[in-house]
Amino acid sequence: MATETRTPFEEQRSARPQVRPRTEGWTQAQDTEGRPLLQFASPKRGKPPVHLADLTVEERVEKVKELGLPGFRAKQLSTHYFTHYTSDPAAMTDLPAAQREELVAGMLPPLLTETRRLATDKGDTIKFLWKLHDGALVESVLMRYPGRITLCVSSQAGCGMNCPFCATGQAGLTRNMSTAEIIEQIVRANAAIAAGELGGDPRKGGQDRVDAERVTNIVFMGMGEPLANYKRVVEAVRTMVAPQPHGLGMSARGITVSTVGLVPAIKKLADENLPITFALSLHAPDDELRDELIPVNSRWKADEAIDAAYEYYAKTGRRVSIEYALIKDMNDHAWRADLLAEKLNARGKGWVHVNPIPLNPTPGSVWTSSEPHVQDEFVRRLNAAGVPTTLRDTRGKEIDGACGQLAAADETDV
């Protein structure tokens, strides 16, 4: 009688339980065929006021002229906004006093109202909750690390990707944020830093001298799927890297755009000629699980998303990141680490880095952290297969309430 032989994958599959994704305390909206609803188009709502940061340098000059002032005032306004991080007419003493208010009202209308601010004990992490002009709420998180200051920004109010673990996706997409609303999050964070409101020791990075500080790194891992708001996100990135005073003068290398896998948009991004970092939130290498974990996988499968990530590398020469939140008994099996390594190696070597994200323990939830030895084994297997892999430092709950978040947001702490 022939003995049944099992592959190592099958052995490992049977050894550990398989927890399936499910929403906790809410019901996923479904389409007419009973699949989780995906919303790509922004619902029609009143647009936010047009702001200097929505306009090209030429358009800014034109708009200032329309307001009855000489075009060179546009550059002065840009300097105040992008270099001094202010929209306060009283601070703009180089502008004619009689027209200052009107000019600022026309060019720098208020976009974000701070409604809440939460800080860690040491004050080195600040979560800002912002109200937009139409009452929609978004957040950004400012974090000091040794040698860098990172801001996690939102790109949409709500999100249409409907991931079962995510508080942001529950209510669907409210609307796309404008370019200026994205930029304003950085300007306001820079203003907070300049005012000495971010705690922590600036010298921890090993520098003796501390230059004027500001946000150095951006991650689009706040509210929203950035590539579903493609045009405005790319315009915002261009403004971030444009030299001061026309933009924020940031290094593109410090900017990370992440996506759950909108394949056509990834391909488009690769052609933008922006040396930014691209991150794919994969969270599962197999479609069986990923279909449930990331509903957009019903549109573009894991292999297509990985292919698009590889193409991004091939076109830009920029190594891409794979984000992988490790969830206990759901996606942290050793065979999945092996399968992920196999899929990545099949496309080539040296093109990708995997960042497993340790979650916070959430007792009683299916969305809870892998045990430390399981995390270590996951990382070890990938590294052993030649795929550079490092557990990411997530600074506590830096991504709560947003992309990559795997527990309902509790806004009482950061």
Binding residues for ligand SF4, rule: CB under 6 A, are 159, 161-163, 166, 168-169, 223-225, 260, 402-403
The structure tokens listed for 104 are 């600022």
Least Cβ distance, residue 161 to ligand SF4 (angstroms) = 4
> 258 and 403 in contact (C-beta within 8 Å)?
yes
Contacts of 29 (CB under 8 A, 6+ apart): 36, 37, 162, 172
Residue 349: burial class (beta carbons within 10 Å; 0-12, 13-18, 19+): exposed
> 163 and 295 in contact (C-beta within 8 Å)?
yes
Which CB, 357 or 403, lies closer to ligand SF4? 403
Catalogue the active-site residues.
Answer: 139, 403
Q: Which residue's CB comes closest to ligand SF4?
A: 169
Which CB, 104 or 327, lies closer to ligand SF4? 327
Which CB, 370 or 405, lies closer to ligand SF4? 405
Q: At residue 177, what is the residue type?
A: M
Least Cβ distance, residue 398 to ligand SF4 (angstroms) = 14
- Annotated ligand binding at 152? The verdict is no
Q: At residue 129, what is the residue type?
A: L
> 61 and 71 in contact (C-beta within 8 Å)?
yes
Least Cβ distance, residue 262 to ligand SF4 (angstroms) = 9
Which CB, 79 or 394, lies closer to ligand SF4? 394
- Annotated ligand binding at 205? The verdict is no
Which CB, 359 or 403, lies closer to ligand SF4? 403
The DSSP string of 335-382 is: HHHHHHHHHHHHH-SSSEEEEEEEPPP-TTSSS-BPPHHHHHHHHHHH
The structure tokens listed for 369 are 């952290």
Beta-strand ranges (E) seen in 10-112 are none
Backbone phi, psi, residue 370, to 5°:
-65, 155
- Annotated ligand binding at 154? The verdict is no
Least Cβ distance, residue 279 to ligand SF4 (angstroms) = 12
Least Cβ distance, residue 258 to ligand SF4 (angstroms) = 8
Which CB, 387 or 403, lies closer to ligand SF4? 403
Q: At residue 226, what is the residue type?
A: P
The DSSP string of 131-171 is: E-TTS-EEEEEEEEETTEEEEE---EEE-SS--TT-HHHHT
Least Cβ distance, residue 35 to ligand SF4 (angstroms) = 15
Contacts of 27 (CB under 8 A, 6+ apart): none
Contacts of 232 (CB under 8 A, 6+ apart): 155, 176, 177, 178, 179, 182
Q: Which residues are annotated as a binding site for S-adenosyl-L-methionine?
A: 224-225, 258, 281-283, 360
